[in-house]
Structure 1
Amino acid sequence: MSNTPHTLGEEFPGQMDKIHALKISDSNFAQLLADYDGVNDEIHLAETNVQPISQDHETALRKRRLAIKDQIAQALTPIA
């Protein structure tokens, strides 16, 4: 298990300007970012044993983070 936070800059390299623009213009996207950061922080605290949680809970959080990341990626993908 990695205990390195999955920052949005690492997950979406080169897209931070677009992320920032969407955050300002779209409240739903801004909420996605807040949700991602919250879940990501919980996972990081669990991984570093600052706030240990059960393996099942950690797995559920990881799945939620992935689902949110997929929604962010979809919002960043231009419509063809």
Structure 2
Amino acid sequence: MLGENHALMFEFPEYKDKIHELKMADEVFGAKVDEYHDLDHKIRGLESGNVPTDDATFRSLKMRRAQLKDEIYSQLTQ
């Protein structure tokens, strides 16, 4: 679905507090969360604003977001 919000609080609502705690305690985790948020915002903007971008760039942004989501989830479930 175009423009769908993939914010971590919607993706992992059961880990909302843990995300906040880890973000405050672990700089590397915090940087991943910030990068994920920035990418999600950028992707939604491209989808909803009909901003011209090539498929390779768009796919690359979405792949990076998925990679970050996997890394964040892995840390949350350790």
Which residue is equivalent to 1:12? 12
For 1:52 and 1:38, how far apart are their aligned partners in 2? 19
The answer on 1:72 being equivalent to 2:68 is no
Gaps of at least 5 residues in structure 2 are none
Shifted more, 49-58 versus 61-70: the winner is 49-58
Which residue is equivalent to 1:27? 27
Gaps of at least 5 residues in structure 1 are none
Once the two structures are TM-superposed, the CA of residue 49 in structure 1 deviates from its matched residue by 2.1
The one-letter code sitting in structure 2 at the alignment partner of 1:16 is K
Which residue is equivalent to 1:49? 49
The one-letter code sitting in structure 2 at the alignment partner of 1:44 is R
Number of paired residues? 78
For 2:51 and 2:34, how far apart are their aligned partners in 1? 20
Contact 1:45–1:52 at 8 Å: present in 2 too? no
Which residue is equivalent to 2:38? 38
Shifted more, 7-16 versus 27-36: the winner is 7-16
Deviations 1:26-63 (A, max 9, x none): 00000001110111111011101253321211111000
Contact 1:3–1:44 at 8 Å: present in 2 too? yes
For 2:22 and 2:10, how far apart are their aligned partners in 1? 18
